[in-house]
Amino acid sequence: MELRTDRRRVVVTGCGVVSPVGNTTADFWNALLDGRSGIRAVTRFDTYGLPVRIGGDLTGFDTTGCLTPQEARRSDNFTQYAVVAAVQAMRAAGLATPAGIDPHRFAVVIGSGYGAAIAIQQQYDVLREHGPRRVSPYHSVLTAIDHPAGLLSIKYGISGPSCAVSAACATGAVAIGEAVEMIRHGRADLALAGGTDDSLTAVDLAGTANAQALSRRNDDPEGASRPFDRDRDGFVMSVGATVLTLEEAGHAERRGAEILAEVAGYAATTDAHHATAPDPTGAGAIRAMRGALADAGCVPEDVGQVSAHGTGTVLNDRIEAAALREVLGPDQLRRTPITAVKSMTGHMLGASGAAEAAAAVLSLRDHVIPPVRNCDHPEEEDLDLVVKGAREWDGDVVLSNSFGFGGHNAVLVLKRWTR
């Protein structure tokens, strides 16, 4: 594997996670290694009459120390999750107070698939029940998809590029990839990047269930998310956020930061096929995987682990397996362990790609791969799925896949850091 020396290298120096399996990075990671599920019966609203009544919600979430009470009141859940995750990522990177960091060389890229779904519905109810004078004057701000990025820029005095991206379920990976490009090309030295979503509403559960995309295992929540299992029947809608602190490698080294991993490759493609169904040929996914490997200076034989998109829908898992078969080749595929953390977290939508990138970073750090929960009867017999507990691992390269509605495909290549 030839290292890329012709451009600025980008490394991860901090991770922050808010998820159904834990509201800190440590809790998230420990839950994944233990194979614990965060899927439960939905209790935040009355689910009577809904075809799907399960999801991945947060427990014990607290904004104390991250948002003022006023900021919390004026923020949708998706913003609150992103800010808490970003604060964790900053602290983990040794930047609790970013003194000595050039704010003009600092960027923020926080994406979301659904945005302020809850706040929009709440304000509509206010308008309908109480009239226009009662609608919040902050409505246009708190419901904007760039609200997390804007709030973080104010909180930390970040005056470099800041923006939101949206690419459905690939959003988190795209946000990281685009922030990496900013650093590579000299527009920033440091970035907060990731994804956030909270679309666990009655409307979204009903609509996505009507699209035949969600698991209906209402009586077995923890067994509902079943990537690559023969008995899978759809994904489980979940909430949360993940933010990474990304830095130009030299910048991180000069300030003595611990480098967790390198984001070595990124590619994004579009199927241009269907609003919800993946291209049955997997052509877009294949191009994204090959593009990310080429961007990283890697060949298929270098891949030591795959973090699969693995939603648990029949078509997605089958097409992803076929795409991996095409990209890696049959021999390499058989000896490459594959995990799918949505089996535990559920599908965190715009946050999922970032959460899985964080899991890849932690896997490289700790030399262990989290298991695929609920894959009792694997459909694809040539996949080396990590199904019987966490597995010790000493690889150097993780291929992390994220695919989404609208045909969005984004792939990241995470590598063990070596100078």
pLDDT for 360-414, tens place per residue? 999 999 999 999 999 999 999 999 999 999 999 999 999 999 999 999 999 999 9
Distance from the Cα of residue 228 to its chain's centroid:
19
Q: Are 280 and 358 in the same domain?
A: yes
What pLDDT, on the 0 to 100 scale, is given for residue 2?
46
* Shared-domain flag, residues 244 and 300: no
Would you say residue 275 lies in a domain? Answer: yes
Q: What is the DSSP string of 37-85?
A: --EEE--SS--TT-S--EEE--SS---TTTS-HHHHHTS-HHHHHHHHH
Q: For residue 171, which amino acid is it?
A: T
Task: Report yes or no on 3 lying in a domain.
Answer: no
Are 117 and 135 in the same domain?
Answer: yes
Residue 187 within a domain? yes
pTM of the model: 0.97
Res. 419 pLDDT band, cuts 50 70 90: confident
Residues 6 or more apart whose Cβ sits within 8 Å of residue 64: none
Q: How high is the pLDDT of residue 3? A: 45
Same domain, 285 and 399: yes
Q: Which helix (H) or strand (E) holds 203?
A: helix 202-210
Closest listed residue to residue 175, CA positions, set 194, 150, 200: 194
* Catalytic one of 15, 66, 163, 169: 169
Which phi-psi region, left, alpha or beta, contains residue 64 (left: φ > 0; alpha: ψ -120 to 50)?
A: beta
In a domain? residue 5: no
Burial of 93 (0-12, 13-18, 19+ CB in 10 A): buried
Query: Are 23 and 172 in the same domain?
Result: yes
pLDDT tens across 43-58, in order?
A: 999 999 999 999 999 9
Percent of the chain at pLDDT > 90 equals 96
Joined together, the tokens standing for residue 250 give 């030299």
d(CA 229, CA 313): 10
Residue 7: pLDDT band with limits 50, 70, 90: confident
Whether 169 sits among the annotated catalytic residues: the reply is yes
pLDDT band at 157 (very low <50, low <70, confident <90, very high): very high
Q: 308 and 406 share a domain? A: yes
pLDDT digits (tens, 9 = 90+) for 246-285: 999 999 999 999 999 999 999 999 999 999 889 999 999 9
**Cα separation, 147 vs 27, whole angstroms:** 27
Average pLDDT score over residue span 137-141: 92
- Number of helical (H) and strand (E) elements in the chain, helices listed first: 14, 15
pLDDT at 1 over 50: no
How many domains does the chain divide into? 2
Instruction: Answer with the one of 235, 255, 275 that is the final residue of a domain.
Output: 255
- One domain for residues 30 and 155: yes
Residues 281 and 387 in one domain: yes
In a domain, 237, yes or no: yes
- 13 torsion bin: left (phi>0), alpha (psi -120 to 50), beta (else): alpha
Q: Does residue 141 share a domain with residue 86?
A: yes
Both tokens assigned to 295: 């961007």
Q: Which of 202, 220, 255 is the last residue of a domain?
A: 255
Choose one of 209, 230, 255: the last residue of a domain.
255
CATH code of residue 337:
3.40.47.10
> Residue 5: which pLDDT band, with cuts at 50, 70 and 90?
low
Residue 358: what pLDDT? 98
For residue 345, is pLDDT > 60?
yes
The reply to whether 394 falls in a domain is: yes
Whether residue 309 contacts residue 271, with contact meaning beta carbons closer than 8 Å, is answered with no
Mean pLDDT of 176-182: 98
Q: Is residue 4 part of a domain?
A: no
In a domain, residue 213? The reply is yes
Q: Which of the residue ranges 6-10, 155-159, 239-243, 324-328 would you say has the lowest mean pLDDT?
A: 6-10
Q: Are residues 312 and 236 in the same domain?
A: no
C-alpha of 125 from chain center: 30
Look at residue 97 in the predicted model and tell me its pLDDT: 85
> Are the C-beta atoms of residues 345 and 58 closer than 8 Å to each other?
no
**Which residue range is the domain that position 296 belongs to?**
265-416
275 and 219 housed in the same domain: no
CA–CA dist 361, 5 (Å, integer): 21
Kindly give the residue spans of alpha helices, DSSP state H, lying in 93-170.
Answer: 117-130, 139-142, 147-156
- Are residues 105 and 236 both part of a single domain? yes
Q: Which two tokens stand for residue 151?
A: 């709030």
Confidence band (pLDDT; 50, 70, 90) for 332? very high
